[in-house]
Amino acid sequence: MAFAPKPGCPMCGIVATAAVHPPGQSPRLPNCPDAPAEPEIVWRDENFTAYREKVHPVSSNGHIIIAFNLHVPSIYTLSSSDLPLLVNVRNLGRRLLSPSSPRLSVFSSDDTSTPSAPPQHTESQFRIGFIAPPFKDNKIPITDHLHAHAYLAPADLLGWWRGVAYGPLAWYAIDDLIAEIRESVSNNRVKSGYDNRINAPIDAVPEAGARTGAANGDEYTASSLAIPDVEDGLATPSSSNTSFTSSPSGHIPHLHV
């Protein structure tokens, strides 16, 4: 299996134990003393496991780590067919940090009391992205299992040394990564860096830019890392990825609307 779990990888340990751990409890992280001993799992699905960073958060307003369930070594392993995965990471990070939404977790609490209305966050407060290798967060020193950081600015708990990893030298904002991949494979010139890009029309189509091909209809789309959700209607239980494949004749199949 490609990207199979790596023995001794702390992130693989979190992913594996979160898959079978009883609700309301947290898996332990035995191989990384600087990482949280008991991560609070806040989300798990076929592709991602997210936990709340409690020991070494960079922001007192919230810090979530979203790990790929597969042992993907870095962002440079991703291709344009993984654009929907990146869009899901961005949306998941925003939802888990949003105070206006209930916790989206398969490990939900039994507490049914109504919380007080929390303050709303502005668009500019959301920080979601990756620390590009060879840089790393020295408090969470995992460099070979792809994971995204999602936190709310300001990073008041960061410190100057960790600030290098979350600064312009090492930080790869997920919006920039999505835009640059789309720009490299399509005619949709979504320039990175412009204001209010979150409302760009192309962002309404998560799969935009995920398919590549020639003018004659031949498609060269690589297999995605994503594990399909059968309920989406795009795959069957035996499918191995969510990428669209061309017909035997090499032409893109018709889409029924």
Nearest to 13 by CA among 145, 138, 135: 145
The string of pLDDT tens digits covering residues 40-77 is 899 999 999 999 998 899 999 999 999 999 999 999 99
Q: What is the pLDDT of residues 146-166, one digit of tens each?
A: 999 999 999 999 888 899 999
At 246, give phi and psi (nearest 5°): -80, 165
What mean pLDDT is predicted for residues 6-14? 91
| Burial readout 194-204 (b: 16 or more C-beta within 10 A, e: otherwise) | eeebeebebbe
pTM of the model: 0.72
Residue 69 sits at φ, ψ, to 5 deg, of -65, -35
Q: What is the pLDDT of residues 207-245, one digit of tens each?
A: 777 777 776 777 777 777 777 654 444 443 333 333 333
